[in-house]
Amino acid sequence: MKTKLLFIVFLFFYIAIITKLFFLQVFAPIRVNKDLYLKTQQLIPERGKIFDINRTPLVLNQNSYLLFLEPKKINDKLKLTKFLSEKLEWEEASLSAKIDEKKEWISLIGGIDEDKKKEIESLKLAGVGFNRESKRFYPEASLSAHLLGFVGKDKDGGNIGYFGLEGFYDKDLGGLPGLLDSERDMVGRPIFSGIQNKVDAEDGRDLILTIDKTVQEISKKRLLAGLERYQAKQGCVITANPETMAIISLVCLPDYDVDNYFQFSEQFFKNSAVSDVYEPGSIFKPLIVAAALEEKKIKPQDTYNEEGPIQIGEYQIKTWNDKYEGKISITRILEKSSNVGMVYIGDKLGKSKIYEYLKKYGFGELTGIDLQGENTAYLKTKENWYPIDYSTVTFGQGIALTPIQMIRSFASIINGGKLMKPYLVDTIVNNDRQTKIKPKLDKKVVSEQTSAIIRKMLVSTVENAEAKWDRPKEYSIGGKTGTAQIAISGHYDPSLTNASFIGFAPADKPKFITLVILKEPKTSPWGSETAAPIFFEIAKDLIVYYGITPEQ
């Protein structure tokens, strides 16, 4: 009898449990709040790092914190605003206005570093908390500000790269977020037998650049000193491997502080090396000479009778110092940077060939460099060219281009005629997989033979130029100065110039090509007196750094 009674009691409980379960699962499944135990969390990927060619870091990630407030837990609002305003260097009134007591949670400020967090935690303020996040760390500070760009916020508060490499490679660097579905108990411990789904976040890819931070430092130091010495408004130095157009250094000044980019206006973020257009002046001359040699319109041993100024329509073209030497060689035209000599070469080459070669050198189109914000620099259509344009373009006036277009086209005439695509990323690292970026040949512009002749002419140009530079004597260095007047409201202002120098060393097999541009130098308008000395200072440092042996 007792056993039966016990059986009935157990059966009753059993049926009750089954009924309750049936009710919960079939009739009222919505009433069960899944969020009570199932936690879904987005797994934030780590943004890719950026290294130089020697794998030393240029950009890393660092721990930082988001300071948040829980107004309902705040005991003493006055004390809290007083302490926090001191630590965060905020106005007490604006901080107080931010604290809306009706809200559960307020995000106050991000990017707090470890030390600051410890300081605030030591105050033991109720209602103050921290969420871990990540921000960029630049071991070399602003050494490569324009090159790297920075990471800011998009409209949804997510990280997004702006300008430079951060902008161009944002998708690669950003990675893919993961997802974690995890059943947790009351205190947040995972329930072992519950749902545990995890899709791992894919961290951003690391970039190994073609940039050498030592060369970058040399360029920046020399350019900075040059800007002060010659009181120039702005300046850029680009160094590349002329064979591949792998960029070794790229510096434009003034630049900005990458850590505090928000304190600068947008004009500082623009990388002049790829975004600004300018008239190149005489550094453009070797391109026209190379084209004329390639087309066999002139021979290296040809001579030209430099008698005096040339009249083209209403315009008169003179040499820079209005001095004329009579019978001079093609090499001498480059050495003394004769504008009238260049008009003669342009005449020989012919209008359609001039235009054809401008296209061949890649003007009027993007170089394809992997930096955000590249400008194509507009090249007028053939129909819009006046006769004077064909003359002035031979000495680099009346055509606008970007510094990166200039160095790329110049490299093509000294590397055997290969117009290469400039690039900054050498390798992309994705976990253990490495993708090496190969140099890309865009087109062949001139022959090996023409290139060899031009190299010799440019060495002679440096050795026999009007200006005498403090240059390493035992090395053969080729190069060309350039001084271009700046057009203002349709007229050229002779006092305002873009001074430049482009050079390479060693001349037989160039290891580097460097372009130096100064905008509006005040001490002298000439490239030979401003940009050239900076180039030779950089060249001297690079010769030592690369251990290039003397030739002569």
Partner 1 sequence: MKRSINSLIILMLFGLIAANIFLFYSSIKISDEISVYEQRIQKVHHENINLEKDLARLSSLQYAQKLASNLKFSKISQPSYLEKLVYAFNPNQ
Chain contacts with partner 1 (rule: CB under 8 A): 56-57, 60-63, 114, 132, 134, 137, 139-141, 143, 185, 188-193, 213-214, 217
Contact predicate 232/496, CB 8 Å: no
Residue closest to 251 by CA, chosen among 214, 208, 207: 214
Name residues whose C-beta falls within 8 Å of residue 336's C-beta, 6 or more positions apart in sequence. 319, 325, 328, 465, 466
Q: Which amino acid is at 430?
A: N
- Name the residue nearer to partner 1 (CB basis): 141 or 176: 141
- Name the residue nearer to partner 1 (CB basis): 61 or 447: 61
- Name the residue nearer to partner 1 (CB basis): 136 or 360: 136
172: number of Cβ within 10 Å: 17
- Name the residue nearer to partner 1 (CB basis): 183 or 325: 183
Nearest distance from residue 60's CB to partner 1, in Å?
6
Nearest distance from residue 45's CB to partner 1, in Å?
13
Nearest distance from residue 57's CB to partner 1, in Å?
5
Nearest distance from residue 144's CB to partner 1, in Å?
11
CA–CA separation, 237 and 216 (whole Å): 9
3-state secondary structure 148-163: HCEEEECCCCCEEEEC
Nearest distance from residue 65's CB to partner 1, in Å?
11
- Name the residue nearer to partner 1 (CB basis): 220 or 418: 220
Residue 403 burial (C-beta neighbours within 10 Å; 0-12, 13-18, 19+)? buried
- Name the residue nearer to partner 1 (CB basis): 55 or 323: 55
**CA angle in degrees (0–180, nearest 5) for 328-329-330:** 125
Q: How many CA atoms lie within 13 A of 69 on its CB side?
A: 22
Residue closest to 166 by CA, chosen among 145, 154, 152, 149: 149
CA–CA separation, 312 and 484 (whole Å): 20
- Name the residue nearer to partner 1 (CB basis): 431 or 549: 431
- Name the residue nearer to partner 1 (CB basis): 213 or 418: 213
Nearest distance from residue 206's CB to partner 1, in Å?
12
Q: Which amino acid is at 5?
A: L
Cis, peptide link before residue 510, omega less than 30° from 0? no
Residue closest to 223 by CA, chosen among 211, 235, 214, 215: 235
Nearest distance from residue 1's CB to partner 1, in Å?
15
Name residues whose C-beta falls within 8 Å of residue 101's C-beta, 6 or more positions apart in sequence. 71, 72, 74, 77
Contact predicate 62/135, CB 8 Å: yes
- Name the residue nearer to partner 1 (CB basis): 142 or 376: 142
CA–CA separation, 399 and 25 (whole Å): 77
Nearest distance from residue 302's CB to partner 1, in Å?
49
Residue 47 burial (C-beta neighbours within 10 Å; 0-12, 13-18, 19+)? buried
Nearest distance from residue 469's CB to partner 1, in Å?
23
Nearest distance from residue 14's CB to partner 1, in Å?
14
- Name the residue nearer to partner 1 (CB basis): 96 or 142: 142
Contact predicate 135/113, CB 8 Å: no
